[in-house]
């Protein structure tokens, strides 16, 4: 009787152990599926895990910087005049084919970039964005460099949510330890929306985007 009981007990333990093994296998299979799914999503996403430059943004001396090159028939003086006439800039100065200025705090057109209010970060949808601007002019082209990018509250459209009146975008989208821009800046559409708007601001008639840094 004891032998039969022992055999039954061993059989039961074996079944439980096998069940546990099967459960473990199932869990591992699910985990593997999640890993594979994550890898597929990462490969299919237009957003890299880390990046040195994306949507024309890069880390320049630990400052979030946007750079783009445009073709143009304008001289430096003509380009300065265009910037003045646009009413988008202040403190515009020209010296040795280099224009420096400040972008007046402006509402970013997130809808033009393809996003709605709910999918746009609050510091863009409810705030104005400004920056320092440097425009380097060469024959038939100019390069725009924007940094010290900041946001400030737009009281005209603020909907009562708690928001920071003014701050640096660098402080929201800091860099990784190796100096790459954190992926949140791309995942939340910030980079794409800002790139669309900055490009639009400098798309004067008679110029086109070439963005060829190597040939600059």
Tokens matching residue 214: 């190597």
154 secondary structure, DSSP code: -
In 88-144, where does DSSP find H-type helix? 122-125
pLDDT of res. 94? 98
Kindly tell me the burial class for residue 83, based on how many C-beta atoms sit within 10 Å of its own C-beta (0-12, 13-18, 19 or more): buried
- Output the CA–CA distances (angstroms, integers) from residue 198 to 9, 39, 45, 81, 95, in the order listed: 74, 33, 24, 18, 23
The mean per-residue pLDDT over the stretch 181-200 comes to 90
175 secondary structure, DSSP code: B
Is residue 31 over pLDDT 60? no
70 secondary structure, DSSP code: E
Q: How far apart are CA 105 and CA 126, in angstroms?
A: 12
Q: How far apart are CA 201 and CA 144, in angstroms?
A: 11
CATH number of 52-215: 3.30.530
Is residue 57 over pLDDT 80? yes
The mean per-residue pLDDT over the stretch 33-56 comes to 42
Average pLDDT, the chain: 74
102 within 8 A of 89, measured Cβ to Cβ = yes
How do the domains of the chain map onto residue ranges?
1-44, 52-215
The mean per-residue pLDDT over the stretch 89-118 comes to 95
Nearest partner of 97 among 138, 67, 143, judged by Cα: 138
113 within 8 A of 124, measured Cβ to Cβ = no
pLDDT digit string, tens, across residues 127-182: 899 999 999 999 989 999 999 999 988 766 655 544 556 778 877 767 888 888 88
Q: Which residues pair with 132 in a beta bridge?
A: 102, 147
Could you give the 3-state DSSP secondary structure of residue 28?
A: helix
Nearest-5° Cα angle at 170, 165 to 171: 60
pLDDT of res. 173? 63
The mean per-residue pLDDT over the stretch 195-210 comes to 82
pTM: 0.70
Q: Which residues pair with 141 in a beta bridge?
A: 71, 138
197 within 8 A of 130, measured Cβ to Cβ = no
């Amino acid at each position: 009787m004891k032998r039969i009981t022992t055999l039954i007990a061993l059989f039961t333990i074996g079944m439980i152990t096998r069940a546990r093994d099967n459960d473990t296998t199932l869990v591992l299979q699910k985990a593997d599926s999640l890993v594979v799914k994550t890898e597929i999503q990462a490969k299919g996403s237009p957003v890299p895990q880390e990046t040195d430059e994306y949507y024309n943004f890069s880390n320049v001396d630990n400052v979030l910087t946007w750079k783009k090159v445009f073709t143009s028939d304008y001289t430096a003086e003509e380009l300065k005049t265009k910037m003045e006439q646009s009413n988008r800039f202040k403190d515009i100065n020209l010296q040795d084919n280099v224009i420096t200025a400040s972008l007046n705090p402006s509402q970013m057109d997130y809808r033009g970039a393809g996003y709605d209010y709910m999918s746009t970060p609050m510091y863009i949808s409810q705030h104005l964005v400004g920056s320092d601007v440097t425009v380097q002019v060469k024959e038939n082209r100019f390069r725009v460099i924007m940094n010290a990018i900041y946001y400030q509250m737009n009281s005209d459209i603020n909907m009562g949510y708690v928001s920071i009146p003014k701050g640096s975008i660098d402080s929201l989208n800091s860099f990784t330890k190796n100096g790459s821009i954190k992926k949140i800046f791309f995942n939340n559409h910030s980079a794409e929306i800002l790139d669309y708007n900055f490009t639009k601001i400098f798309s004067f008639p008679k110029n086109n985007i070439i963005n060829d840094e190597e040939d600059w």
